[in-house]
Chains A and B, each alone.
Chain A
Amino acid sequence: MAVLSGIEVEQRPAHPRKNRVRWTASDEASGLALISPTLLYAVALLFLPILIVVAYSFWTQDYLTIDRTFTLQNYQTALGEPIYQDLLVRSLVISLVVSVVTVTVSYPIAWFISFHGGAHKNLWLFLITVPCWTSYLLRVMSWKVILGYGGVMNTGLLSIGIIDKPLTSLLYNSNAVVITLVHSWAAFAILPIFVSLEKVDRSLIEAAHDLGDNKLMSFLRVTLPLSLPGVISAFLIVMIPTVGDYVTPKLVGGKDGVMIATAIQAQFGKGANWPLGAALSVTTMVIVSAAAGIAVLALKLLVRMAK
């Protein structure tokens, strides 16, 4: 807004010709100048690749040559082939489940740190980031050790007698993908939720108690709605990247846990069909955006109902 109001001020002088000279001295101009290196970098590395991907998705490839005539054939394949439909739906379902579980697990942790962290808030936050110090690959691999046939989980359950032979349903399926991703993304969900909880004025919660609410009611009617921005950003931070996650399904997903990224990778790699890969990517992007939008609306609606 400060930038916008800067423009208004600059447009006020009676001689319009002066404006152009003056603009270079305005706040907006100096602001843009300051961010220009980052802006150019971001534009170059974000929009350019996306444009190229979009362009490719309308072309065709014959072995090594690209045919640049416009066609919707790739999208027909991406949306029409049952295998791709299945993969898209599965990716979406897995990422939604991962987001819901991650946010649900992370919220109480963030709440605890914010409301009961006391003098040790920073220590708690620090501890939460500790797992991120090891490589993402290592963390995914270690879940193989935990969930595997002779893994920590199975031997543990066996030794306390809950099961009498190792469970095979732990690893190499979509459950394993969900478990691994929830663990990987928890820190990224806790932080935005924590920040939004910190911003909730504690006197509002006291006011709710004063007006007759017990602890649960004041949480549902005041704390939760006011921390919704954090919940939404946590949800999006987890959901958007997990739809396209490639490493986790590859390592712990097995046959059942294959997601769309694997198919896209295959088209750009062994399949040597870049246009189809591009069309799958664009389709995924559009569907993820739509799903994220719907999820945000649903969350807002849910909270409106609580009040």
Chain B
Amino acid sequence: MPETPMITIEAVNKFYGIYKALDDVSLDIAAGEFFSLLGPSGCGKTTLLRSIAGFDTPSTGDIRIDGQSVIGTPPNRRPTNMVFQSYAIFPHLDVEENVAYGLKRLKLDASEERRRVGAALDQVRLGHLGKRRAHELSGGQRQRVALARALVMRPKVLLLDEPLSALDKKLREEMQVELRSLQKAVGITFILVTHDQYEALALSDRIAVMFGGRIAQVATPKEIYQRPTTRQVADFLGGMNFMKARITGETATRLSVETPRFGGVTLDKPLGFSARNGTATIGIRPERLRVLWDDARSDFEVAGRVVDRHYFGEITHLIVDIPGMEQPLSVSETNNFGADDIPVGDAVRLAYDPDALVALSD
């Protein structure tokens, strides 16, 4: 991370009456970063975004954009622009007028204004729809107008409030690719609010996962998916098998545990970890377990019986009961080798990589 972050959020709290929407949030976001705020609804991610935009004011704490505190600065004087969840396209204006809305204040000469509006519309591939009205646009097109209207202002930070949630799945995936390449092209800091973990994983340089007004973990997509620090984060980002393990040794950074069926392992200790009754929660992702066919052997394997099977097209989820474990394991197998044909009730052996096990705070 470079020396001066583009955005610094420092000990921000936000109260609505006695309800705490933001609870001691501190965060640095670098210039040019694609940063996502991920969490379930009501976790405070939108409040945080709106505080950066200036629509909400933190009860305590400081927000600095490019080194300048923006507490008390109204939204119209902040170097941020926002893409609203509903897109907020002005219904009484056509596409070009929408995009030109913020430029009018800059009193550019007509040709310069037209050039910038045209460039912004080309950037989102809407150059041909300049004269359309909001109600004549599809959801995806409205979204592009909202993007162009914000980007044309050349903000230091672009804020996106669940911009893709109103689109259908296919269009959403297309727009994700486009959003990512757009961010690369313009090089502006993007802050995306989303409750869709796949969206956050696919788009972001870094993700902050939030629960109950607090930031639970900030990390790169790969790290946050593979090395979640809390059970809540692990669960929110995708399927995870949890098990209780007895702690056999503990240092400042490492944790040795004896698991029910995965043997004794030594794992990285998550930040803020505290043992309960000498046990720790250990997790392993379903796709890190693999069915061993016929005589195949692995140094690390567990044996059990298939109790259920869920077919998802490209993958199959096998629910495997392991004797001696409280919860059956969920195994995600690609359908290349016939996992979708394993009959319920069959005995299976599963291979795993001990590196795939993570210790989690509860």
List residues of chain A with CB under 8 Å of any chain B CB.
Answer: 201, 203-204, 206-214, 217, 221-222, 225-226, 307
Contacts and interface: CB of A to CB of B under 8 A. Distances in A.
A210 B76 contact: yes
Given A206-B84, A211-B149, A222 B75 contact: no
Contacts of B343: none
A212 B105 contact: yes
A209 B88 contact: no
Contact of B90 (A204, A209, A210, A212): A204
Contact of A201 (B54, B55, B88, B93): B88
A214 B76 contact: yes
B93 A207 contact: no
Interface string B74-87: 11100011101110
A213 B105 contact: yes
Given A207-B82, A210-B76, A226-B92, 5 more contacts: A204-B91, A206-B82, A206-B84, A210-B80, A211-B76
Given A203-B86, A204-B88, A307-B92, A209 B102 contact: no
Contacts of B105: 211-213, 217
* SS class, residues of chain A in contact with chain B: helix
Given A212-B153, A307-B92, A201 B75 contact: no
B225 interface: no
Contacts of B84: 203, 206-207
A177 B136 CA distance: 47
B74 A209 contact: yes
A206 B75 contact: yes
Quick one: which of A207, A210, A212, A226 has the most chain B CB within 10 A?
A210
Interface residues of B, number: 25
A212 B88 contact: no
A222 to B, nearest CB: 6
B331 interface: no
A203 B146 CA distance: 12
Nearest to B99: A211
B188 to A, nearest CB: 15
Nearest to B50: A206
Interface string B87-127: 01011110001000110011000000000000000000000
A206 B153 contact: no
A208 B149 CA distance: 11
Contact of B76 (A212, A221, A222): A212
Contacts of B149: 207, 211
A140 to B, nearest CB: 39
Contacts of B106: 212
A221 B82 CA distance: 18
A211 B102 contact: yes
B86 A211 contact: no
B86 A201 contact: yes
A207 B76 contact: no
16 contacts: A201-B88, A203-B86, A206-B82, A206-B88, A207-B90, A209-B74, A210-B75, A211-B76, A211-B105, A211-B150, A211-B153, A212-B76, A214-B76, A221-B101, A225-B92, A307-B92
A148 to B, nearest CB: 47
Nearest to B159: A210
A212 B102 contact: yes
A213 B90 contact: no
A213 B76 contact: yes
A233 B85 CA distance: 32
Contacts of B76: 209-214
Interface string B25-61: 0000000000000000000000000000111000000
B85 to A, nearest CB: 8
Nearest to A213: B76
Contacts of B88: 201, 203-204, 206-207
Contact of A210 (B81, B92, B93): B81
B142 to A, nearest CB: 12
B119 to A, nearest CB: 17
Interface string B130-173: 00000000000000000001100100000000000000000000
Quick one: which of A203, A221, A225, A307 has the most chain B CB within 10 A?
A203
Contacts of A203: 84-86, 88
Contacts of A206: 55, 75, 82, 84, 88
Nearest to B146: A207
A225 B153 CA distance: 23
A307 B84 CA distance: 22
Given A206-B75, A207-B88, A307 B93 contact: yes
Contact of B101 (A201, A208, A214, A225): A208
A201 B101 CA distance: 17
B162 to A, nearest CB: 12
A210 B82 contact: yes
